[in-house]
Amino acid sequence: MEITRRRLLVLLPAAAVAWKYVLAGTPEGAPNYELTSHWWAMLIDIPKCIGCGSCVRACAEENDVPEGYYRTWIERYHVADWKIERPEVESPDGGKYGFPPHTDDGGKNFFVPKLCNHCADSPCTQVCPVGATFVSPDGVVLVDKSYCLGCRYCIQACPYGCRFLNPKTNTADKCTLCYHRITKGLTTACCEVCPTGARQLADLRNPKDPIHEFLRTHAVQILKPYMATGAKVFYNGMDGSVR
């Protein structure tokens, strides 16, 4: 194809726009994904979770998560009567294959899916000595595995236990909120497969996102609010015993 002066004038601005996405590592998003017009979060509706483990399996498959490590997992809580400060919690294989029936018929049982909270003021990004982990302009906490030293300071700094050292890459690993999917207009793998809709991807910068209506009309909490991390995974119907 011959490059004329007229064609060059047309191509250059388009290339300049695309370059921003190339630098961000998401060239596939260039034509229609605007980083700054999103602020990603997730809504977890605890009463809807049945602990089937589909989300954990889907996440592991989608993101090639090594066996024994978890970007997302499910915890089963058992709170006996008034003992809200001492719940019994279990998460066999991260809840990947569901849970065995609970034999104790007293008290209450419920499931709590966990994942990275994609904190706005995340302690993990604060402590990274080289800035290999960062908050993207659209609100997702990511790790640049080509830059991470593998010092594991971020793993220590995460109050929620969401990070691990990937034994394949020897770098810090965690939930990316399926960044490769959401920047193409898809939802996350875990939300995609959840049979009850207990997990919902939310865009806080999109005024039309149903999250806003939900947050207005429900008593919603975040995990460990006293940590002041700006967590963006919102839990509906969360019991006070949840850690």
Q: Which of residues 202-231 bind other proteins (CB under 8 A)?
A: 227
Residue 117 contacts residue 162 (beta carbons within 8 Å): yes
Q: Which of 111, 160, 179, 235 is the binder for other proteins (CB under 8 A)?
A: 160
- Answer yes or no whether residue 135 interacts with other proteins by CB under 8 A: no
- Answer yes or no whether residue 149 interacts with other proteins by CB under 8 A: yes
Among 35-43, 99-107, 158-166, 188-196, the segment contacting other proteins (CB under 8 A): 158-166
Q: Measured on CA atoms in the order 15, 17, 20, 22, is the torsion positive or negative?
A: negative
Structure token digits, residue 184: 């193409």
d(CA 88, CA 111): 12
Q: From the CB of 164, what's the least distance to other proteins, in Å?
A: 4
- The H or E element containing residue 164 is strand 164-166
Q: Which of residues 27-86 bind other proteins (CB under 8 A)?
A: 69-70, 73, 75, 85
Q: Which of 27, 31, 47, 129 is the binder for other proteins (CB under 8 A)?
A: 129
Q: From the CB of 113, what's the least distance to other proteins, in Å?
A: 12
- Answer yes or no whether residue 151 interacts with other proteins by CB under 8 A: yes
Among 3-11, 167-175, 190-198, 203-211, the segment contacting other proteins (CB under 8 A): 167-175
Residue 165 contacts residue 139 (beta carbons within 8 Å): no
Query: Which residue lies nearer to other proteins by CB, 127 or 222?
Result: 127
H helices of 105-232, in order, are 123-127, 153-157, 179-182, 189-193, 211-217
Query: Which residue lies nearer to other proteins by CB, 145 or 218?
Result: 145
Question: Is residue 142 packed enough to be buried (19+ CB in 10 Å), middle (13-18) or exposed (0-12)?
Answer: buried
Q: How many CB atoms lie within 10 A of CB 192?
A: 16
DSSP state of 35: G
Binding residues for other proteins (CB under 8 A): 69-70, 73, 75, 85, 87-91, 93-94, 114, 123, 126-131, 147-153, 155-165, 169-171, 227, 243
